[in-house]
Amino acid sequence: MPGQEHFTQQPLFIVLAAVSALLTIGYYWGNSMLIDPLMSVEEVGIYKPDPRVYRLATKRLKLKAKQIVFLSANAWDAVAAANAGLHVAWINRFNQRRERLPSQPDVEIKSLADLPGLLGF
């Protein structure tokens, strides 16, 4: 899968774009996946696509942006996270066109079922 080398070179943390995605992750990975900490835009008092929202993960986890993989099914959200310096996997469930902006996701997957293989699990 193109871009996979970006995700297997160092330990990574995953940031989800929406809490509703937790239910999907639980479906695919069962109880083996722990999600801690949960983060919210309310902590910074601003909203997407402001880069400070995406940088919240780097501050809370005390990690560099490239140590984090951000997941989103929204193309605009994926592009904004890439613009903030995060690794990004865009979940393109409906085969949408990429946004025509300078920043782009590192990889594109069809569903969260593709994620374990992408991360080398």
Higher pLDDT, 29 or 42: 42
CA atoms within 13 A on the CB side of 30: 1
Instruction: Quote the number of domains for the chain.
Output: 1
Tokens describing residue 84: 């903030």
Q: What residues make up the domain containing 43?
A: 4-118
Residues 98-118: tens digit of each pLDDT: 888 888 999 999 988 888 787
Q: Judge whether 110 and 93 are in contact, CB under 8 Å.
A: yes
Position 22 confidence tier, pLDDT thresholds 50, 70, 90: low
Residues 50-76: tens digit of each pLDDT: 999 999 889 888 889 988 888 888 999
Position 78 confidence tier, pLDDT thresholds 50, 70, 90: very high
Tokens describing residue 104: 């782009």
CATH of the domain at 84: 3.40.50.1000
